Amino acid sequence: MNRRFHTVAVLMGGSSSERDISMLSGTAVAGALREAGYRVFAVEVDAQDAFALPPEVEAVFIALHGTFGEDGGVQKVLRRLGVPYTGSDAASSRISFDKLLAREAFQAGGVRVPDGAVVRSDAIAGAAPPWLPVVVKPPCQGSSVGVSIVKDAAAFPAALAEAAKYGETILLEAYIPGREWTVPIVGEQVLPIVEITPKIGDGWYDWTAKYQSGGTTVYTFPEGDPANAAIAREVRAQALAAFKAVRARGVARVDFRISPEGVPYALELNSIPGCTANSILPKSAAKAGIAFPALCERILESAQCI
């Protein structure tokens, strides 16, 4: 690869609920870029979302998950500084991070989503859920923070209260039984689909299954089974359509539920996928023959200041 950059910074930390995961991602990325031959500054963003870049930095790899990193905040800062950065621009990041805006963009782009409704926590207390099971989630959090799957109406108020910790607006979506597939994209290359099968808790991919599963979450590659060929083709096309619908750039991961009838439903687009030891993006890249340092280099060299 013809390198545009030689001295770079990896931003990690920040003030969001995903700070600890961001630190793990950033540390892993910094190590991989050093292994690839870059001069790397690991820059920790503090609890007030403040940071300082060394003057010799030519580009920034954003490893900030959650607010400030994925909602367009840091992108605005870097654009003002005139420093190229990885991933989507501020406007696209804001849409991707807000699940309500992302749903609208997906639908406008022809991407299928679950039935949904938007409620205010103070207006629906005590009301019955519109569907059962129903997924209750704050629109602007990641890593399944604040998300509940309600199977019994009696649990609905507690789920609302949990989601309301992160904002007054709450998204309700019909729960799609079946399989969990996720599709990483680098540039506009759709990488191998990963199927996620949690073996702990209620069997859904919550925060514990993502980061504390102790190896009990199983990751497989469903495209290796000819029986999945037709569904996989549709999911790959839907993932790329979702990527384009929010005008994403550089890297993303699109999450799907696959119904028992084989119908895919897009849940969200993560514009800064995790890069920890348990993260899906590196697993998918490895399946495609892309080693982790090469993956990080490819993402870094796509950096722009827009």
Q: pLDDT digit of tens for each residue in the chain (306 aa)? A: 789 999 999 999 999 988 999 999 999 999 999 999 999 999 999 999 999 999 999 999 999 999 999 999 999 999 999 999 999 999 999 999 999 999 999 999 999 999 999 888 776 655 677 889 999 999 887 657 789 999 998 888 888 888 888 888 999 999 999 999 999 999 989 999 999 998 755 555 454 555 554 567 899 999 999 999 999 999 999 999 999 999 999 999 999 999 999 999 999 999 999 998 889 999 999 999 999 999 999 999 999 998
Q: Are 107 and 192 found together in one domain?
A: yes
Is residue 102 one of the residues assigned to a domain?
Answer: yes
Q: Is 17 a catalytic residue?
A: no
Q: Are 152 and 165 found together in one domain?
A: yes
Residue 270: C-alpha distances to residues 86, 141, 239 (Å): 14, 11, 11
Q: Are 158 and 247 found together in one domain?
A: no
pTM: 0.91
**Out of 15, 143, 278, 279, which one is annotated catalytic?**
143
Q: Is 2 a catalytic residue?
A: no
The amino acid that residue 138 corresponds to is: P
Q: Is 18 a catalytic residue?
A: yes
Q: Are 165 and 45 found together in one domain?
A: no
Q: Are 168 and 107 found together in one domain?
A: no
Q: Is 162 a catalytic residue?
A: no
**Out of 253, 265, 278, 279, which one is annotated catalytic?**
253
CATH label of the domain that carries residue 215: 3.30.470.20
Q: Is 255 a catalytic residue?
A: yes
Q: Are 102 and 209 found together in one domain?
A: yes
CATH label of the domain that carries residue 167: 3.30.1490.20
Is residue 1 one of the residues assigned to a domain?
Answer: no
Environment class of 207 (CB within 10 Å of its CB; exposed 0-12, middle 13-18, buried 19+): middle
Q: Are 261 and 189 found together in one domain?
A: yes
Domain boundary, last residue among 156, 174, 192: 174
**Out of 89, 98, 268, 297, which one is annotated catalytic?**
268
Residue-number span of the structural domain to which 122 is assigned: 116-174
The token duo for 69 is: 């990193």
> Among 211, 193, 209, 296, which Cα is nearest to 254's?
193
Total domain count for the chain? 3
CATH label of the domain that carries residue 77: 3.40.50.20
Is residue 48 one of the residues assigned to a domain?
Answer: yes
**Out of 15, 18, 87, 116, which one is annotated catalytic?**
18
**Out of 98, 173, 255, 297, which one is annotated catalytic?**
255
Q: Are 198 and 167 found together in one domain?
A: no
Q: Is 168 a catalytic residue?
A: no
Q: Is 284 a catalytic residue?
A: no
**Out of 26, 103, 274, 297, which one is annotated catalytic?**
274
Q: Are 221 and 278 found together in one domain?
A: yes
Q: Are 70 and 165 found together in one domain?
A: no
Q: Is 268 a catalytic residue?
A: yes
Is residue 306 one of the residues assigned to a domain?
Answer: no
Q: Are 191 and 258 found together in one domain?
A: yes
Domain boundary, last residue among 174, 200, 216: 174
**Out of 88, 148, 270, 278, which one is annotated catalytic?**
270
H helices present in the chain, as ranges? 19-35, 73-81, 90-97, 99-108, 156-164, 207-211, 229-245, 280-287, 292-301
